[in-house]
Amino acid sequence: MAKTATINMRVDPEVKSNAESIFASLGMTLTEAINVFLHKSVMEGGLPFDVRQPRYNAETEAAMHEARDIMNGKIEADSYDSAAAMFAALDE
């Protein structure tokens, strides 16, 4: 089938760049990825994934943010010489 329809859309440049990198690692262009999304949406009769907001409490959100910062090297993770030392620190 010939591709003759055009979609123009505005998107955050950082999101576009990140998406292009992800799809390039999968061997596809952003256009190809969008076509896959559209085909899958048609096959599913709607969005091909659940759309909902996560239901995390503030403490869990803070812990997830801290974990991301540790993974990205923004903050240094605590380390302990033994399990006893770790539990002692947790009790403080």
Q: Considering just the CA atoms, what is the radius of gyration of the chain in Å?
A: 21
87/92 Cα distance (integer angstroms): 9
92 in a structural domain: no
Domain that holds residue 48: 11-73
pLDDT, the chain, mean: 93
| Kind and range of the H or E run holding 44 | helix 30-44
68 in a structural domain: yes
**33 in Cβ contact with 23 (< 8 Å):** yes
| Residue 66 pLDDT > 80 | yes
State CA 60 to chain mean position distance.
Answer: 17
Residue type, 3: K
pLDDT at 1: 67
The domain tally of the chain equals: 1
Share of the chain above pLDDT 70, in %: 99
Share of the chain above pLDDT 90, in %: 82
Which residue shows structure tokens 């995390």?
Answer: 56
56 in a structural domain: yes
2 in a structural domain: no
Question: Would the pTM of this model clear 0.75, i.e. be above it?
Answer: no
